Amino acid sequence: MALRQDLTENDLKMLRYMNDPVRFWSASALAPHFGLSAVQARNQLDALERGGYLRRVEETVARSEPTFTLTGIGIEAAVS
């Protein structure tokens, strides 16, 4: 797991944004809020997942891309 000090300011902004009543986010849904392309947002989400801040929600036929949600440490980082 990554340490909180390894997070960039952009990582923290994304985690804080995701700590919202909407709990499940895809890259294409987040990208416009951060001025990123869907590919850039996906790369950031993948990195946050590798760090343990996010977890991937089961992919289904109804979803064309993976959806992510915060983990416990992701929530801690978002509110600190």
Assigned fold of 6-79: Arc Repressor Mutant, subunit A (1.10.10)
List beta partners, residue 54.
70
Q: Give the whole-angstrom CA distance, residue 41 versus residue 20.
A: 18
Contact 29/13 with Cβ under 8 angstroms? Answer: no
Interval 3-34: pLDDT, tens: 566 899 999 999 999 998 888 899 999 999 99
Q: Please give the model's pTM, rounded to 2 decimal places.
A: 0.85
pLDDT of residue 18: 94
